[in-house]
Amino acid sequence: MEEKTFSSVLPAVRIIHLSYRLVGMCPYKLPQDITSEHLPLSPLGLLNTVTFIALSCTVVYLNVIVDIYGELSSSSILNFISRGVLMGGLVFTILFTFVSSLMRKSNWEMVRLLHRIDTRLSSVGVQFNYKRQFYMAIAYTILWVTFVFLLIGYHCFYSSLGTMNYVKMCIHITSHYVAVTAYGAFMSHFFYMLVAIYSRFAAININFSRHFLTKSAKERTPGQDDGEVKELRIAHDELNDLLDCVNSFLSIVAMAGITLSIFLWVLSCSSMYKRNVDDRESLLLSPIGYVLWSSYFAFFVVTVIVMASRVTSEGRRTAVLIHKGMNLHPNHPDLQEIFSMQLQSREPVASCGLFTYDYTLLYSVLGSISIYTTIFIQFDSFNYKA
């Protein structure tokens, strides 16, 4: 029974899908069979989604627009951007719910393509530990959900220090919940797809090394291992197709998360500065809140950038291994040469179109944070003195 349960990527994908459904972003169910193309909208799922969006709009309207708490009523830049963060979370939730519902078949096709790649690789002796991938998806989901509860716990404690009643406190907390959960569910999906693609590229490299870098040219007979090279070449090409789908469907939205992370870290540093020049008790816990928020978003940004960089480096390693194989087997380089030409035109890169997800982006983000924090403190200090 256990072998049947973990015979494909579907159990791990269901964990990611479950996190979507828990935050009301996925009004459909995944098929039981990975070969199925039928993904109807569930009436119960639609009701859950509509209810969640209606509740989200209500609490964000009351907390941000009406400002029943009075915390955002001032003209401070910090409070102004806090409104933007909460409104951005609501817009992100509604937009991605709508897009994921319309593109549910394209999203499901990525899972089916991953399954076909696994089937092709298994024909040349590559086996995957789906059980480990399943528990990795659970661990990552539990990690970001725990972070969400930590944020909610902070806001519960922060709200209890004021004069809010329980209704206002619930509205205040729920509006912040809306701003973080949708992003967490989405980024966990992006991270898992990058991990899946990386593990397949690594499997191709290991298999290629086993077939071609452990044999001398004299031991290799004409036609030997040509079938393996062909299957690996097709699998590599399909993985690039899958990465292109991930780039078009997921990475553009992740760009918004990186932008938001920059804003939040600027807010964190500015809030710490303002706390040092202002002794009001209302600002006592403000830096802690911004640090928690920015750490939450930075967690996803860093994990995605690290995994995307590993995908790119593993793809480059494939090219190195192929050229080594061509040097070891100069008499029969035809299929390997075709494979090599394919790599020259299709290097696997996780990108949103504006930039690639690599360590260069991480250093650029850190540089942007330092520059904008300095500018932000200067403007906020001017308003404070005024």
| pLDDT of the chain, 386 residues: tens digit per residue | 344 467 788 888 888 888 887 777 777 788 888 877 777 777 877 787 788 788 778 877 777 666 544 554 454 666 666 677 777 777 777 877 777 777 788 888 888 899 888 888 888 878 888 888 888 889 988 888 888 888 778 777 766 666 666 777 777 777 777 777 778 888 888 889 899 999 988 888 888 787 777 655 446 555 556 677 778 888 888 888 888 888 887 777 777 777 777 777 777 777 666 666 555 555 445 667 677 777 888 888 888 889 989 998 888 888 777 777 766 666 655 555 666 665 555 677 887 767 788 888 888 888 888 888 787 777 765 555 54
Short-list 195, 229, 223, 224, CA closest to 209: 229
In a domain, 126, yes or no: no
Domain extent, residue 320, equals 9-117+132-384
At 280, the amino acid letter reads: R
Is 123 domain-assigned? Answer: no
Closest CA to 384 of 79, 70, 162: 79
Q: Please state the separation of Cα 279 from the chain's center in Å.
A: 39
Euclidean distance between CA atoms 254 and 239, whole angstroms: 20
Residue 344 lies in a domain: yes
Among candidate residues 51, 63, 49, the one with its CA nearest the CA of residue 96: 49
Q: Is residue 127 domain-resident? A: no
- DSSP run (H or E) holding 122: helix 104-122
4 found inside a domain:
no
Q: Does any domain span residue 50?
A: yes
330 Cβ contact partners less than 8 Å away, ≥ 6 residues apart: 217
Total domains in the chain come to 1
Structure tokens at 249: 């469907």
Beta partners for residue 351, in sequence order: 356
125 within some domain: no
Cα 273 versus chain centre, distance: 31
pTM of the predicted structure, to 2 decimals: 0.83
Cα distance between residue 303 and residue 252, in whole Å: 16
- Residue 55 counted as domain residue: yes
